Structure 1
Amino acid sequence: MTATADAPTPVTTTTSSHRPAWVTDRRLASWNRWVACPVSGGAKTLTAIAPYDEMPTAPVPACTPDDVVAAAEAARRAQADWAALTHGARAEVILRFHDLLVERQDEIMDLIQWEMGKARFHAWQEVLQVANLARHYAVHGAKYLADRKVRAAIPVATKAREVRKPKGVVGIISPWNYPLYLGVGDAIPALLAGNAVVGKADPQTPLTLLWTRALLAEAGLPEHVWQVVTGPGAAIGEAVVDNVDYISFTGSTATGRLVAQHAARRLIGASLELGGKNPLVVRADADLQQAARGTVMAAFANTGQMCIHIERVIVHTDVYDAFKEALLAATSGQKLGQAFDFSYDIGSLASRAQLEKVSAHVDDAVAKGATVLAGGKARPDLGPLCYAPTVLEGVTDEMDLCLGETFGPVIALYRASDDEDALRVANQGRAGLSASVFSKDLDAADAFARRIRAGSVNINDGAALAAGSIEAGMGGVAESGSGRRHGGEGIRKYTDSQTVAASRIGPVGPLPGQTLEKFVAMGNGQLKLLRRLKVR
């Protein structure tokens, strides 16, 4: 996925024919200055491969573990002054960033497409989500973090409240599939809560994060409050976890386990959004055209490289054939290709490794008896890493594609005899990230949704509805992770709760000269009175 050189490589060596014309050597140099490599000085570089032509993009400095240590120390020194600002002052920076992001969105969409290969509409969705999160937490963050009065030990004579204090330095390890949304969307609430951030850019998409860091500097974010480090997780991921006070990780379940174990050894908190094998259930009473459209949108968005995308479609037997016909029609209407405009619905896969994994899953399923209803093959005529949107049926448990996360534009159809059978299939395996139910009976769908093992369930939508409801938490259960982004938990997780209790009468306990027996008797009397009054 990346190439590493022993010495700095001039940015003029980039050879990708899809490099946007506005991405000049001067712009690249201005972004690279935001890589925190104070120890190594950027002596080594890494260069990603552009999915549209499999040619190098542009080199960026590669950090060492010592660079990460120094970056975290600089962030810690800067954090105190940043935390001393009012929430309103921090919010002004984030709102200026919001405005700049919306104004210059064409630039960041170009970078996302160049580095990651997705269709432009899906790149725009990242802009939409980050802008919404920036505005939401800037406006409502103070409310989420406000002091909370609680009932004190002795009414009237004492008082107590819970206050929120920033963790200090938050580490964010974000993946390549949503480099803006996941790399920046998690940093915004951490910053607004008064923390400094050390963010590790994925080697496939570092320019996206560096462009955004430069934009935040223009909006007024102090230089060392958000440190960006670059490099493979195997090289610097452990150093990030070792030098922060809280870690937010998005990625595979296997790596998430390692992050959790390492965080646990340090006794720091961790938020983990991990893999999914997300089901979509079509009940017998569903609007089939609506369900087919929602399935296609949720399964093939971001070329299927989305943790919440749909991979399993479970259809009531009474409507299976009619739904299959509608689904195949909707799938055939998807335009696959590569362009820096809105002319295609589905873009490229991000890397040769992704293409090989998707192909291997489909080939294994076909070899073991699955039937290809649509797609099922790469499309090198459209782009070196393009893969046709694929629908399979007859997928069985022994196939790798059954419960293994494919992370590509591939869905498997399953027939269910009734709701209970559909629920059994939906809850198969150990993942539990996102799910969907299509039904005209919203009450029945709601009752069904509550029985699905998933952190989020969408009714009459494939995946975007819950993710876009940013006042509600988003995350997984079981092997799909722990913790939540978005909503109150999405910012409070970056803080510690501190209880502050005060007494107007001095220490709580027996009064001078009062025997312990008398004090205990008074306490027992209070217990009985409060019980009769149904207090607490």
Structure 2
Amino acid sequence: MPTRAKTFDSHYPVTGDAIGTFPIHTDADVRVAVAQARIASDKWVALGFRGRKKVLLAWSKLLMERIEECTALISMETGKPVSDAKLEASLAAGHLAWAARHAQEVMRTSHRSPGAVMANMSATVERSPVGVVGVIGPWNYPIFTPMGSIAYALAAGNTVVFKPSEFTPGVGVWLARTFAEVAPFSNIFLCVTGLGDTGRALCEAHVDKLAFTGSTKTAMVVAATCAKTMTPVVLECGGKDPVIVAHDADIKRAAENSIWSSMSNGGQTCIGAERIYVVESVADEFIAAMLDAVKNIKPGEPGVGNYGPATMPKQLEIIQSHIKDALKSGGRAIYGGAKSVKDPYVEPVILVDVPEDSMAMQDETFGPTIIINRVKNVDEAIILSNASRYGLGASVWSKRQGKKIAAQLHCGMVAINSTISFAAVASVPFGGVKDSGYGRIHGPEGILEFTYARTIVRARFQLPITFTSFKRTAGNDKLIIKLTRLLNGRFG
């Protein structure tokens, strides 16, 4: 008798009840999926920009037509409010449409100046899709985040094999099923499900590029695994995103946005606020505004709470350990505290005066907590913001100094007088530096990330002097040196 495939369940985080059963795809299954995607790759490329645009726009339209179905599934697998799931799905569909409409323009052949010495040459740079892209997605935003890789890779002409998080496999399977409804042929976008070993198998399956979203610790393992097969990677990892509140900030708006940034989705947002540096002169006013903004915020199941439970149960231990460490090291809780962790929920927690070297300030908490520390001035806030090993996003609140402050922050994205707004703008790149990863999704950079450059230099006519020949003379060498010194890159 044939051996039955192993399976795993996804669960409703509010109750822990199983809500779906999915296959654990083996190494062999993943290799087959990649092979199928590779066969389909040539046909997908041959469809051209117009053909792919038509397919992807149809998919975007279908996602919006099925948004109720989609968001119910997201809410069930993550526990987040349906409203939040709708925002996530809408943004994902928007990014998909943007990538479809702009891929041709972004990948247009670029004509370059050959320089005066090589004036007889025509120099161009073409962009080609890498081939098959593997995507390993997260559980906190199971459609929006992976779509930042999937949409841009597909628009560039690649086929995709997607491995969703084991906490949200249903969303990944649903995405692949809806794409199949508009696809002109099969195996353009495939989904494989499973646990960590399935992700490892995708890293080892000789895809042409792999995009991963998750913790920095796991990203290091992914990068090391991919390095064995020389597979390039895009890594979007965690953050310890700072908020800077200057003396001229709109205090009430800064507080309301910071509470939402730190606590929406249960704080399970890599670009959410985790630490706030507020200038001393407005600190009391800001803290009072934060306390006012948080007083009616509470967790609960969809339809009840402002945010849901911890989607990944083991995160509760991390959140509680950070709160306890902050208090033990000298910080104070002015709203909530260690007892706010009540499985499966974490009630809002606001901490102040937490030492910079504490675990709560150094490591990503990924929960509905926020730390507020006072600083003498904006310069000190910038120094402390940059002291982190992370460098994903940041938020700056200032009526007159926003751009100046933003330009000095060591991170990939900054929102001025807003919060995480950069994620919603499809035309700008998304990604971090330092331990927050490398590579970019979204925007033109997100399309180019899944391509490679091909340089083509063509002789338009032959020069009387041949430089690339064994017949080159000493006089030729002198001429080359003379021209190089004279021109000095002026006409390159």
TM-score by length of 1: 0.86
Q: Deviations over 1:81-108 (max 9, x none)?
A: 1111111101111100111111111111
User: What is the letter of the counterpart of residue 373 of structure 2?
Assistant: Y
Query: Is this contact kept in 2: 1:119–1:348, CA < 8 A?
Result: no
Task: In structure 2, list runs of 5 or more residues that go unmatched.
Answer: none
* Counterparts of 1:419 and 1:410, CA distance in 2: 23
Closer, same or farther: CA 516–396 of 1 in aligned 2, 3 Å: same
User: What is the letter of the counterpart of residue 201 of structure 2?
Assistant: A
Give 1:10's aligned residue: none
For 1:338-357, what aligned pairs fall within 5 Å after superposition?
338-339=301-302, 341=303, 344-357=305-318
Give 1:358's aligned residue: 319
* Counterparts of 2:262 and 2:140, CA distance in 1: 15
Give 1:518's aligned residue: 475
User: What is the letter of the counterpart of residue 487 of structure 1?
Assistant: G
Give 2:150's aligned residue: 187
Q: Deviations over 1:152-185 (max 9, x none)?
A: 3666632121011111111111111111012233
Q: 1:527 aligns with which of 470, 480, 484?
A: 484
Q: Deviations over 1:107-156 (max 9, x none)?
A: 11111110011122321221122111111111111011111111236666
How many residues in Structure 1 have an aligned counterpart in Structure 2?
488
For 1:255-266, what aligned pairs fall within 5 Å after superposition?
255-266=218-229
Query: Is this contact kept in 2: 1:436–1:461, CA < 8 A?
Result: yes
Give 1:445's aligned residue: 402
Following superposition, the deviation at residue 398 of structure 1 comes to: 5.1
Q: 1:137 aligns with which of 99, 102, 105?
A: 99
Give 2:128's aligned residue: 165
* Counterparts of 1:79 and 1:41, CA distance in 2: 32
TM-score by length of 2: 0.94
Q: Deviations over 1:470-511 (max 9, x none)?
A: 211111111111111111110111111101111133598259
* Counterparts of 1:346 and 1:281, CA distance in 2: 24
Give 2:456's aligned residue: 500
Following superposition, the deviation at residue 224 of structure 1 comes to: 1.1
Residues 1:81 and 2:55 aligned together: no
Following superposition, the deviation at residue 408 of structure 1 comes to: 0.6
* Counterparts of 1:221 and 1:317, CA distance in 2: 60
Following superposition, the deviation at residue 74 of structure 1 comes to: 1.2
Residues 1:70 and 2:32 aligned together: yes
Give 1:33's aligned residue: none
Q: Deviations over 1:259-278 (max 9, x none)?
A: 22222332221111111111
Closer, same or farther: CA 525–237 of 1 in aligned 2, 3 Å: same
Give 1:455's aligned residue: 412
Percent identity, aligned pairs only, is 33
Query: Is this contact kept in 2: 1:314–1:422, CA < 8 A?
Result: yes
* Counterparts of 1:173 and 1:58, CA distance in 2: 20
Following superposition, the deviation at residue 524 of structure 1 comes to: 3.9
Following superposition, the deviation at residue 221 of structure 1 comes to: 5.2
Give 2:17's aligned residue: 55
Give 1:428's aligned residue: 387
Task: Find runs of 4+ consecutive structure 1 residues off by over 6 angstroms.
Answer: 511-514
User: What is the letter of the counterpart of residue 325 of structure 1?
Assistant: A
* Bigger relative CO (Cα 8 Å, ≥ 6 apart): 2
Q: Deviations over 1:426-475 (max 9, x none)?
A: 1222111111110111xx22111111111111111122x11122211111
Give 2:242's aligned residue: 279
* Counterparts of 2:71 and 2:470, CA distance in 1: 75
Query: Is this contact kept in 2: 1:183–1:209, CA < 8 A?
Result: no
Closer, same or farther: CA 509–105 of 1 in aligned 2, 3 Å: same
Residues 1:43 and 2:40 aligned together: no
* Counterparts of 2:51 and 2:17, CA distance in 1: 43
* Counterparts of 1:375 and 1:329, CA distance in 2: 14
User: What is the letter of the counterpart of residue 209 of structure 1?
Assistant: G
* Counterparts of 2:299 and 2:362, CA distance in 1: 26
